[in-house]
Amino acid sequence: MAERFDVRRQRGFSLVAALCFALLYLPIAVLVVFAFNAGPSVARWEGVSLVWFEKAMANEAVVEAALRSLTIASFAAVCATVLATLAALATTRVARPYRGLALKYTLINQPLVVPEIVTAVALLIVFARVKVWTGYSGLGYLLLAHTAFCIPFAYLPIRARLESMDLTLERAAADLYATPWRTFVHVTLPLLRPAILAGATLAFVISLDDVVITEFVKSGGQDTLPTWMLGQIRRSTSPEMNAISTGFLAISVVVVVVFFLSSRKRA
Amino acid sequence: MTTSRILPLVAATLLATSAGAALAAGELQIYNWGNYTSPELIEKFEKTYDVKVTITDYDSNDTALAKVRQGGHGFDIAMPSHNYLPIWIAEGLVLETDPGSMENFGNVAPEWRDPEFDPGRRFSVPWAWGTVGVVVDTDDYKGDINTWKVVFDPPEELKGRINIVPEMNDVIYAAIKYHGGKNCDGDLEVLKKVRDTLVAAKPHWVAMEYNTIDKMVAGDFAATTDWNGSALRQRLQKPSINYGYPVEGFAYWSDNVVVLKDAKNVENARLFQNFVMDPENAAMISAFNRYANGISGSEAYMPDDMKDAPEVVVPEAFRGNAEFSRTCPPEVQDLYTRIWTDLQK
């Protein structure tokens, strides 16, 4: 009898996998390694040192931009996740799919489909008007924009989880005279917790990464870490940029790892 | 993320951004290219006039123009390049501050007083200027480097080790000059030669990218087209790297300080325009971004490695070969784009 089909045994599979991993991780590895370079080059190695990290930490612009990025990402992640949870409940807790449900999915996921530059230009035009009318040019615009484009990223895992949970438990709670609110708090929400955390993590990282929309929406003194970095690299690159990137990468990795550990404990 | 962890963070950031503003009497919002504004210059301006300056970065003329055009941006000052400045003026985006009547205008070098992109300096003040030429490692090639031939019809030693900085207008301009043509006149005869030259030269190039400093110093490239400030940084790291001013003709560029029409802090913005025309202050700009500034007398305050640097001070003999790069009419620009597309194939 022929061997059982196993995708891992297919010819060339390991090669393709290795190539993918190399493409994904080699450039990042090189970037991280040169963050520790003692010399001023991002191409020639001159020994190990932490001077570029010290320089980056002492750079007020970097620290300010990083704090701003974290503030925006935290706010956007919380708001987007709350909204996405509500949207997911509304679009899945129905007895039977109805006409227009698919349309609602599409509308909620709009930011995934519309090219980012289109959203950015549209927001630029609208917010410019609003800024002129109201005279307000604070962080609110970035918070709103980030919350909006983070919603689908929070929505997708929550909806997936809700779709795999049938209505049995909630019906049982209702049969036992639980109010809809108590049912939600004591039955639905605990079951949803891992998905909500996953959604929030994803939203946080997506907000942290954003360049295009932020570049167009930001007002004076509102550079985030990515837009600040974009402004720097065109003129010259030094290992300071590698050090900042490495720190940035570390934040993203830590957020994802913390999420992973916390969701494993509960599972 | 729980709210208890986020709130202190938000509070800390809000405090950090508002505390500074409360101390100074005035405000100034500068919108400039990233990595281009000397922190010492800003500190001095803040101290002198008791003004809190906020700097925001942009990454291209197009982004800056798009945002300022829409209004509501909140910026007072921007630094458009010379080839974009006429658009800003024509669209009424900049305020006619008449820098010519300002106290420090007398310091502006004669050749920068009446530039074609802002006749009579009605709107703008010089910030930085430079040239586009060729950079060659003279350890690798001993011949004449003051010619575009180095990259368009390269000698044996340089073949396969040449980089071209992928700025369409700069590259096509260079090739037009190489064939003795005139920029922007759309002469098809010349443009045909330009295309043939570029396509024929391409196999001798190893790359078309911006990251020239490291790769020249490391020896990955032996020659590249480049901006002069970048060339200076390379020579300081490796003395055999030299900058050539092509005899066929090369281009000047410049970035200029303008006050925006919807600026909220017009008086501070005017003060800033006057401030950067002071030789000592202009030298701070140059010391940071490594380009010349167009202010006479600033040489005295320049860092030693820039005072007589051939990359910054254009040698007398080559000055006659220079002209301003500009943005050509759309129909000519279309031809350039077609050549550029052919080149990318």
Minimal-distance CA residue of chain B relative to A218: B73
% of chain B surpassing 70 pLDDT: 93
pTM (2 d.p.): 0.81
- C-beta separation of B307 from B67 below 8 A: no
Task: Report yes or no for ipTM above 0.90.
Answer: no
Partners of A41 on chain B (C-beta within 8 Å) are 214, 217-218, 237
Long-range contacts of A252-256 (CB under 8 A, 24+ apart): A252/A205, A252/A208, A252/A209, A255/A201, A255/A204, A255/A205, A256/A201, A256/A205
Distance CA B203, CA A67 (A): 47
Minimum Cα–Cα distance from A229: chain B residue: B34
SS3 of residue B31 by DSSP: strand
Report DSSP letters for A168-228, one per residue.
Answer: HHHHHHHHTT--HHHHIIIIIHHHHHHHHHHHHHHHHHHHHH--HHHHHH--TT---HHHH
Q: Which of A127, A128, A221 sits opposite B56 (nearest CB)?
A: A221
Q: Minimal Cα distance from B35: which residue of A?
A: A232
pLDDT at A10: 75
CB contact under 8 A, A235 and B36: yes
- The average pLDDT across B155-159 equals 93
Distance from CA of B275 to the nearest CA of A (A): 21
Average pLDDT of every residue of chain B: 89
In chain B, which residues have their Cβ closer than 8 Å to the Cβ of A256? none
CB < 8 Å to A204, chain B? 1
Answer with the residue of higher pLDDT: B264 or B25: B264
For residue B1, the model assigns a pLDDT of: 38
The pLDDT-based confidence of B176 (bands split at 50, 70, 90) is: very high
| Backbone angles phi and psi of A20, in degrees to 5 | -60, -45
Task: Report the pLDDT value the prediction gives residue A2, as an integer from 0 to 100.
Answer: 58
Q: What pLDDT band is residue B144 in, cutting at 50, 70 and 90?
A: very high
Blockwise average pLDDT, block size 10, chain A, 267 residues:
68 88 92 88 83 90 92 96 94 81 88 90 92 88 95 94 87 90 91 92 93 92 90 77 91 86 66
Rounded to 5, what percent of chain B is helix, strand, coil?
Answer: 45, 20, 35
Name the residue facing A227 among B1, B57, B215 (closest C-beta): B57
Tell me the mean pLDDT in the region B120-140.
94
Output the pLDDT for position A3: 64
Q: What residues in A contact B63, CB-CB < 8 Å? A: 215-216
Distance from CA of A163 to the nearest CA of B (A): 25
Q: How far is B35 from chain A (nearest CA, A)?
A: 5
Task: Say whether A97 sits in a helix, a strand or coil.
Answer: coil
Q: Measuring CA to CA, which residue among B150, B193, B174 is closest to residue B322? A: B174
Contact check, Cβ <8 Å, A70/B31: no
Q: Which long-range contacts (CB under 8 A, 24 or more apart) does B46-52 make?
A: B48/B275, B49/B268, B49/B271, B50/B24, B50/B25, B50/B26, B51/B24, B51/B25, B51/B26, B51/B27, B51/B265, B51/B268, B51/B271, B52/B20, B52/B21, B52/B23, B52/B24, B52/B26, B52/B27, B52/B28
Question: Is A174 near chain B, with CB under 8 Å?
Answer: no
Interval B97-122: pLDDT, tens: 999 999 999 999 998 999 989 999 99
Which H or E run includes A245?
helix A239-266
Does the distance separating the beta carbons of A204 and B73 come in below 8 Å? Answer: no
The model's pLDDT over B24-54, given as tens digits with 9 standing for 90+, comes to 679 999 999 988 899 999 999 999 999 999 9
H or E element in which residue B128 lies: strand B125-137
Contact B74, B31 (CB under 8 A): no
pLDDT for res A266: 54
Confidence of residue B214 (pLDDT cuts 50, 70, 90): confident
The pLDDT value recorded for residue B124 is 96
Residues of A in contact with B6 (CB under 8 A): 71, 74-75, 78
Is pLDDT above 60 for B20?
no
Map residue A94 onto helix, strand or coil.
coil
